[in-house]
Structure 1
Amino acid sequence: MASRPRPRNGALADERAAGQTALLVIDMISVWDFPDAARLLPHAARIAPAVARLRRRCLAAGVPVIYANDHRGRWRSDFPALVQQALAAGGEGARIAGLLAPGEQDYFVLKPQQSAFHATPLALLLQHLQVRRLLLAGVASDQCILATAIAARMRDLEVIVPRDCTATQTARRQAMVLAQFDTVFKLSTTPGPRIRLAGASSRGTRP
């Protein structure tokens, strides 16, 4: 992944997010060697094309894309190296990495726990980008997506969890967490193609 130019004036970002919106892609770039990965990988592969389509729409609309990945137990982890490892691993994981490979315009954070906000610079990055609405895509929907959504709401961010762009280990668990997003947290689960990206007042429309 090519290095980006250093932002001016010490800022983390040199632009503002169109529509005050950002897309956060969680744990989709991986070598899939963690416990229970074999159960999760087929579901991640299933949603990868939808996440890729949403990412392309976001980039075309000026909506920044941020990747959040586990630091794999070491703060010396290297996200560009992880992308290359995922591509080299072959199989479904490599196909996902190929579909979602970040570009020089994208951002990334490394997280030690489920929430992409915990012990990461994500909140500061969103502040610099002037983000008020966060789209969450990736895996697992009832673990890292859920923890990140709760942390985002505690920061008064609007959160959309597009149902076609998230997954977990089983269909039953996915249905349960989508119901929880809707009924408990009052979050939109509007599918990616129906999310309006133009304009600061755009909001996901509940089906």
Structure 2
Amino acid sequence: METKNEDLHGNAPDSSPVALLIIDMINDLEFPGGDELLEPASRVAEAIADLKKRAQAEHIPVIYANDNFGRWRSNFNDVVEHVLADGVRGQYLADVLKPDPDDYFVLKPKNSAFYETTLDMLLTYLDVKHLILTGLSTDSCVLFSANDAFMRDLKLSIPIDCVAAIKATHTHDALAYMKRVLRADTTPSTQLDLAAMCQELSDAH
């Protein structure tokens, strides 16, 4: 897409070939199966938090793509406050991954982070070529988002330690599909060389 304004009217000042996408981790888990998801989600939250710190050190933008819990509000802070303050099952996730003021966010109405959201335009203005996908659930929202990213010719990393589903087999099967069909790299986050990733894409560009 051709862009007329380089900085999206000042609202996307960053420019990076790589972006970190955190999907549905600000999550109350107050739904059927949420109790089963709590343990694996808590585990990946810690891994994502570590990856986020490393990404920030490399000036890689962090984008939260989150379900709106059927509330249809445009204020992400309301979603964060709900999970932090209302005594919900997923409070630990928000404690670990509370967004920083300079993070980006999109609220999504359906599974894919791209569907009826501003994510596509945001990635265009950030000049992103490589998307690191993390979050919940591997076989649903991560998978649908990865499919849409692939259709947009984005290179994909989906670290195996940064995604979770209710059952480990669901994560295994979804990752195998995304690795085979979408050519996603599933290297664990601890083994990702973010600086080299950025440099390689900058050199290619």
State the Cα distance separating 1:124 from its structure 2 match. 0.3
Could you tell me how far apart the structure 2 residues matched to 1:77 and 1:35 are? 25
Could you tell me how far apart the structure 2 residues matched to 1:63 and 1:29 are? 20
Counterpart residue number, 1:24: 21
Is 1:173 aligned to residue 173 of structure 2? no
> TM-score of the superposition, structure 2-length normalised?
0.88
Is 1:50 aligned to residue 77 of structure 2? no
Could you tell me how far apart the structure 1 residues matched to 2:183 and 2:155 are? 10
> TM-score of the superposition, structure 1-length normalised?
0.88
State the Cα distance separating 1:9 from its structure 2 match. 6.3
Counterpart residue number, 1:134: 131
The unaligned stretches of length 5 or more in structure 1 are: 1-6
State which of 45, 56, 61 in structure 2 corresponds to 1:59: 56
Could you tell me how far apart the structure 2 residues matched to 1:49 and 1:72 are? 23
Could you tell me how far apart the structure 1 residues matched to 2:110 and 2:8 are? 31
Could you tell me how far apart the structure 2 residues matched to 1:125 and 1:161 are? 20
Identity %: 42
| Per-residue CA distance 1:41-63 (angstroms, 9 max, x = gap) | 22111111100000000011100
**Deviation larger for 185-194 or 83-92:** 83-92
Is 1:152 aligned to residue 149 of structure 2? yes
State the Cα distance separating 1:180 from its structure 2 match. 1.2
Q: Is the 8 A contact 1:162 1:189 kept in 2?
A: yes
Could you tell me how far apart the structure 1 residues matched to 2:34 and 2:74 are? 19
The unaligned stretches of length 5 or more in structure 2 are: 1-5
Could you tell me how far apart the structure 1 residues matched to 2:54 and 2:88 are? 26
State the Cα distance separating 1:156 from its structure 2 match. 0.5
How many equivalent pairs are there? 195
State the Cα distance separating 1:178 from its structure 2 match. 1.7
Is 1:80 aligned to residue 80 of structure 2? no
